[in-house]
């Protein structure tokens, strides 16, 4: 795991985004009927729930995507975000390795 991943996880708002995306149907309003089968959450719902500025949330999501914790998908004019569970598992393993003093952390 690289230092940018630690930086991404150091921010409480970015951790909150990951938490919400873990159970999107619990934390966000119902999606449009045409989006029902799409994975993730429309960016506009994330912006509204966060109560932060749209540019700030965009930067947070971009950073989470860059370090492999979030995935982005375009569907027409909408952008959807979801957790990248494989990337999260790798980050968890890296944190454990770092805390155990192993070189791979």
Query: pLDDT tens-digit profile of 19-76?
Result: 999 999 899 988 888 888 888 999 999 999 999 999 999 999 999 999 999 999 998 8
Domain limits of the chain? 3-99
Cβ(69)–Cβ(91) under 8 Å?
yes
Q: Looking at domain 3-99, which CATH architecture does it have? A: Orthogonal Bundle (1.10)
Distance CA 84, CA 61 (A): 12
């Amino acid at each position: 795991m690289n230092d940018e991943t630690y930086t991404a996880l150091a921010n409480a708002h970015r951790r909150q985004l990951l938490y919400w995306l873990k159970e999107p149907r619990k934390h966000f309003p119902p999606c449009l009927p045409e989006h029902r089968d799409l994975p993730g959450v429309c960016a506009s719902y994330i912006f509204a729930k966060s109560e932060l500025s749209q540019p700030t949330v965009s930067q947070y999501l971009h950073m989470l995507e860059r370090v492999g914790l979030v995935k982005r998908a375009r569907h027409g004019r909408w952008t959807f975000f979801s957790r990248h569970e494989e990337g999260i598992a790798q980050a968890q393993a890296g944190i454990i390795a770092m805390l155990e003093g192993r070189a791979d952390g």
